[in-house]
Amino acid sequence: MKNRGGHFLGGVTLLLIGSFSLAYDLDLIPDLALGGWALLIGIASLLFFATYLANGVQAYGWLFPACSFGVVAFSIWMYETDNDGIFLVSFALAVFAIPFWVALLLSPRGNWWAAIPGWVLSSTAILLLIGEALPVEIFTGLFVLAMGLPFLTIFILDRKKWWLLIPGGILSSLGFILTVVGKYEGSTRGGFFMLGISLVFMMVFLAWRDNWWAHIPAGVTATIGIAVILSKLRVSESFDLRLFGIVLIGGIGLSFSVLWLLRSRYDTGWTKYPAVSFASAALLAATSGLREGLLLSLILVSIGAWIVYSASRPQRRAGFE
């Protein structure tokens, strides 16, 4: 049964706040000093806390207005005493995290989602306090890394939530790249980031084979990462462009080719079409600048090899009912 006394107190609190706001808008109440606003808002926060306690600890929803009003009252008081700054922002974030942690503690399995905003708010509060002593690259990397950790933690505790590995892995990869590989130029860091994303999707593919689709973004992002890193070799301008095109297009074709080889396990027979298309484009990129006769010969040899391979494969016999 619902706690009627707790709900009554919550209703009275909302009526008082709404009535005061209406009276102020109608100029029925004179302007107050900041200290007066801090006092009134603080009282509203206490009333919401009392409502939460009256309804029972399970009614953590009342903690959201209680903490919000409390932060506003404290912020006004800090501003009045000239103590506003990073500490105030960190304090506000830490208080906003309280309802989420309470929800998680009350029901870890049912309210697992609360760990994500709770951790993000708490870690951001801590990083802001120590951020002035860190370089910008390190601070940014740690911040992004902290965003990804709750996703990975929940995934480790409950492997059924495999989809959490994707945002957690991507954010953690970006944070690691910004923190550890920050000394490299932007394009190189972007290449390593693509490799990190590829590793995430490859883990999804290897751990849950039904997610065969994950092999496509894994292959594509790995190809982009390798192509970007190899493009920094600077052998020559024309060769760099050709090498980039060969690796990028050919790597994507290779990703589809692997799925085509796994067609007996998955419904991926259709991948032969993008595989052949990307392979042909990679061949054209590799042979650009060669004599037309040599290019034609290479194309004919490739097509002939494909036909011979297809014809030599053992045919599947149809079963009889």
User: Which contacts (CB < 8 Å, 24+ apart) does range 190-193 have?
Assistant: 190/225, 190/228, 191/224, 191/225, 191/226, 191/227, 191/228, 191/229, 192/225, 192/229, 193/225
pLDDT for 318 equals: 43
pLDDT in tens, 80-116: 776 667 888 888 999 999 999 999 999 988 899 999 9
What is the Cβ-side half-sphere exposure of residue 268, based on CA atoms within 13 angstroms? Answer: 23
What's the Cα-to-Cα distance from 9 to each of 39, 41, 53, 141, 208, rounded to whole Å? 20, 17, 10, 45, 50
Could you tell me the sign of the dihedral formed by the alpha carbons of 282, 286, 291, 295, in that order? negative
pLDDT for 215 equals: 84
Share of the chain above pLDDT 70, in %: 80
pLDDT for 296 equals: 54
Spatial distance between the Cα atoms of 283 and 279, rounded to a whole number of angstroms: 6
Q: Which pTM does this prediction carry?
A: 0.71
pLDDT for 95 equals: 93
pLDDT for 98 equals: 94
pLDDT in tens, 202-217: 888 887 777 888 888 8
Q: Provide the mean pLDDT of the chain.
A: 80
Which residue shows structure tokens 């992004």? Answer: 144
Those residues of the chain that have pLDDT short of 70 are 1-3, 82-84, 181-187, 232-242, 285-321
pLDDT for 105 equals: 93
For 86, phi then psi, to 5°, come to -60, -35
Spatial distance between the Cα atoms of 245 and 308, rounded to a whole number of angstroms: 28
pLDDT for 319 equals: 41
pLDDT for 315 equals: 52
